[in-house]
Structure 1
Amino acid sequence: MSAEATPLPPPANRAAAKVPNRLSRTFCRTHIHSHSAELKPSEPTRGPGRVCFFCCFCFFCSVRSSASFCTNMIFDKLKKLDIVFDSPEVDCPPVFSSGDVVSGRVVLDLSGESRVDSLKLHAEGFAKVHWTESRSAGSSTAYTQNYSDEVEYLNRREVLLQADNGEITVLPAGRHEFPFSFQLPEETLVTSFEGKHGSIRYWVKVKLHRPWTTVKKIKKEFTVIEPIDINTPALLAPQAGTKDKMARAWYRNFGQVSVTAKIDRKGYTPGEVIPVFAEFDNSTSRSIVPKAYITQTQTFIARGTMKQKRSVVATLCGDIVGARCRETWHGRAIKIPPVGPSILQCRIIKVEYMLKVCVDVPGTSKLCLELPLVIGTIPLHPFGSRTSSVSSQYSVNLEWLRMAIPEQPEPPPDYSSVVTEEEAEQRNNAVTPQPAEDLSGILERPLMAFVQEFRFRPPPVYSEIDPNPQPFNMRPRCMTC
């Protein structure tokens, strides 16, 4: 600061000249040039040629000097702090599911030598809902009720950089990378979601602690998609239904309208086409318009209260059905747009889909038939439903058995080609009955001796036709006959 002080010009009017000398304004040249118009005059504690009072205790100067110190000493040294996830594709962000390993690196780019206390990582995942409702407590009293809830799915902490014994780590200028890796929980997670009254988010947050400065934070979200395989018996089952209604208007009946619809299965994936088989029977005296919709219903739950948001994601409009006529859809196609999968496992957020086959009847409410849908992530197997691990193993075992066992067993060799007549006669003589007094010796013979006696016996007769068949009326019947 300049030590030279310059007095201001004398007051222009006589009233200002009567102001005591102790209130005369004396500023240094620097203060007059910078922000003398922003500050009120104050009595200087030092005369001309001394340090200006404002420059010693001015708030603007102190803030400006502190900001200049922080900028020059700290913030200029941190050029970049970023989180980069490992991804198999360069331009495509990674997508994870339960049990996957999330890996990446924290990039720290410094323009100069910097002192660091610690670098910490925190991975979190939450499902949160929140909305407000206005309620009245009387004729002139109203209040706002808040509803909120949350469910935690992920909480992992990791220290990437921290010196022992609480010492400071000095990092040189340049680029520094700190790898990280953690595994998502094995139990089923919930697919990432963004809705009107709630969301399901997963993110990684990094905090950089340095001495004499605020904590530098950065946060980056990642996507979790739980696989839904539609190749299951429950999702491969066809869906069908029938609904009818008596059309009325002003206590007048126009007749009955009925809708019958069917789809091949319950589970589909985005981009697939749903063939709709339907029949519309119009017994009224008015024309009707059949339509089909794919609707999405978002349900948010908090404190026992439910909030829903419905939207139409696809529409199919049919031809007009005249009075007392019938219309049939033989697989009319409605395409599923790129929407998120169904969310059925979360306690506070649910996303459900429905196929609605409706009929617009003029002058009365529409008739709608609802068929549930599940939007999955694993498309239909080209050969039909996938078998389970047990059934797959069973089928493999059956194939092995078919290869190991011939379809028709080969007949055994001729008895005469194996045993000569002399050996057969010797064996027959050996097994002749013994006298009664020698029975004790026979009982004491080893078991192998009895087994050897049957080695040269002729085998049973092999024939495709039973030589002694039972009468038909005596054959046992199976339980299914």
Structure 2
Amino acid sequence: MTPQSIRRFALELDGPEEAVYSSGEVVSGKVVLELRGELRLSELVVLGRGAATAHWLENRSPGVNTAYSDYTSKVIYFRKKQRLIRDNGELTTLPAGRHEYPFSFQLPEETLVTSFEGKHGSIRYWVKVKLHRPWCTVRKIKKEFTVIEPIDINTPSLLAPQAGTKEKIARAWYRNFGQVSITAKIDRKGYTPGEVIPVFAEFDNSTSRSVVPKACITQTQTFIARGTMKQKQSVVATLSGDVVGARRRETWHGRAIKIPPVGPSILQCRIIKVEYMLRVCVDVPGTSKLCLELPLVMGTIPLHPFGSRTSSVSSHYSLNMEWLRMAIPEQPEPPPEYSSIVTEEEAIQNSPAARQEEDLSGVLERSFMAYVQEFRFRPPPVYSEVDPNPQPFNMRPRCMTC
């Protein structure tokens, strides 16, 4: 047996090339061995792994003798091991040709964490194959796969509106320019990439200078190791408003800011978190800006088209329904009989024989709304240059002063 006996050593996962998994699903595939000649091996093992790792270095003593502190932490989410060829104390001989060894393992039922790649850490899932041969180095193949844990934004906590107010006194060199305030609101907390967030805000500029309102969506990556935290913040979308003059007020009636293709929020990992925020700010010349932050959660399951649109709408609707339940009894009383409230003479006078006959056939064949709609969409009368109802010449004009 020589190392050149192996023509091809490959790991193939079932399904499409960019397959995505979630907790509880089965990852399956096969190990392919194509041999030119006979091959003797002791063991063939498949390993499944999932782990979150945070790592970074920090300067302790900058200068010539620079020293670094190493911050590292790791969380294991699952470990699976499957022996395709066992080591029973004797070598296994494979003849020349193609050999396939299928494998499969189930991901844990408990919630996993979405795959992630960051500057100071990562969350990765992979399958590794090890081929053990006598008197040879172990040959390894590793293939990563993606795990995305679903985040359904159709939950009460993520459908709740987010609102806030913030104000500050603008000062520069001990000089007071006045007060600036921001009031902002969004319909809900949970969104999915590609959606548009309508921003409702009011900017009250009581200063003697013009200010510029802005809004942006930020992503904050937090890495935790050895009790120390490292953060990386980036802006993923921006929105700029018009200049608000001195002692003026500006209102946004649903200014749209679109969410770009970004990864979902990661909130369940102990050492890595990915959070999003909508920041509504005001730039005041000569002093620090005023910012109001509204939390966001990037989900994977979009808003149901026929579900609750927003918690504010649903709560308002439910409030109205509660009021109706209190005001209207469940079983209304039937109306009184006609004969009990009308005298015999009135009944004879109002009878069909006493009234002028009318042809009402077909009136009740259609619903009342049909007649309402017919009247609503009736075209206007035809315009004519000739007055169809001319005024007689012998009629005296009305005196306006009388």
Residues 1:97 and 2:13 are matched in the alignment = no
Is contact 1:232-1:385 (8 Å) kept? no
Deviations 1:388-409 (A, max 9, x none): xxxxxxxxxxxxxxxxxxx99x
* Aligned partner letter, 2:84: L
Point out 4+ residue stretches in structure 1 off by more than 4 angstroms. 139-142, 463-466
* Aligned partner letter, 2:178: G
Residues 1:131 and 2:56 are matched in the alignment = yes
* Higher RCO by CA contacts (8 Å cutoff, separation 6 or greater): 2
| Partner residue, 2:263 | 340
Residues 1:159 and 2:83 are matched in the alignment = yes
Aligned length: 316
**Partner residue of 1:119 out of 11, 21, 44:** 44
| Partner residue, 2:109 | 186
Residues 1:76 and 2:1 are matched in the alignment = no
RMSD of aligned Cα (Å): 2.2
Deviation for aligned residue 1:166: 2.2
Deviation for aligned residue 1:141: 7.4
Residues 1:364 and 2:292 are matched in the alignment = no
| Partner residue, 1:274 | 197
| Partner residue, 1:391 | none
Deviation for aligned residue 1:385: 3.7
Deviations 1:233-291 (A, max 9, x none): 00000000111111110000111111111100000011111111111111111111111
| Partner residue, 1:452 | none
* Aligned partner letter, 1:154: F
- Separation of aligned partners in 2, 1:284 and 1:133: 43
Deviation for aligned residue 1:121: 0.7
* Aligned partner letter, 1:225: I
* Aligned partner letter, 2:272: I
Deviation for aligned residue 1:78: 1.1
- Separation of aligned partners in 1, 2:276 and 2:10: 38
* Aligned partner letter, 2:42: D
* 1:186-265 to 2 correspondences below 5 Å: 186-265=109-188
**Partner residue of 1:296 out of 219, 224, 235:** 219
SS of equivalent residue, structure 1 residue 319: coil
Q: Which structure has more strand as a fraction of its residues?
A: 2
TM-score of the two chains, using structure 2 as the length reference: 0.75
* 1:326-475 to 2 correspondences below 5 Å: 326-385=249-308, 464=334
SS of equivalent residue, structure 2 residue 67: strand
Q: Which moved more, 1:227-236 or 1:172-181?
A: 172-181
Residues 1:323 and 2:251 are matched in the alignment = no
Q: Which structure has more helix as a fraction of its residues?
A: 1
SS of equivalent residue, structure 1 residue 166: coil
- Separation of aligned partners in 2, 1:123 and 1:181: 10
Deviation for aligned residue 1:144: 2.0
Provide structure 1 residue ranges, at least 5 long, that are not aligned to the other structure.
Answer: 1-72, 387-406, 409-462, 467-481
| Partner residue, 1:107 | 32
Deviation for aligned residue 1:187: 0.9
Deviations 1:116-158 (A, max 9, x none): 2111011111111111222249x99763221111111010100
* Aligned partner letter, 1:152: I
Deviation for aligned residue 1:301: 0.8
Deviation for aligned residue 1:193: 0.7
- Separation of aligned partners in 2, 1:148 and 1:340: 24
Is contact 1:233-1:385 (8 Å) kept? no
Q: Which moved more, 1:336-345 or 1:104-113?
A: 104-113
- Separation of aligned partners in 2, 1:171 and 1:134: 54
- Separation of aligned partners in 2, 1:244 and 1:204: 53
| Partner residue, 2:374 | none
- Separation of aligned partners in 2, 1:366 and 1:113: 73
Deviations 1:317-354 (A, max 9, x none): 11111111111111111111111110101111111000
SS of equivalent residue, structure 2 residue 60: strand
| Partner residue, 2:100 | 177
SS of equivalent residue, structure 2 residue 263: coil
| Partner residue, 1:12 | none
* Aligned partner letter, 1:166: G
Identity score, percent: 75
- Separation of aligned partners in 2, 1:367 and 1:111: 71
Deviation for aligned residue 1:110: 1.4
- Separation of aligned partners in 2, 1:93 and 1:180: 19
- Separation of aligned partners in 2, 1:176 and 1:271: 45
Is contact 1:116-1:208 (8 Å) kept? yes
| Partner residue, 2:69 | 145
User: Larger Cα Rg: Structure 1 or Structure 2?
Assistant: 1
- Separation of aligned partners in 1, 2:41 and 2:238: 58
- Separation of aligned partners in 2, 1:319 and 1:174: 72
TM-score of the two chains, using structure 1 as the length reference: 0.63
Is contact 1:98-1:188 (8 Å) kept? yes
* Aligned partner letter, 1:113: E
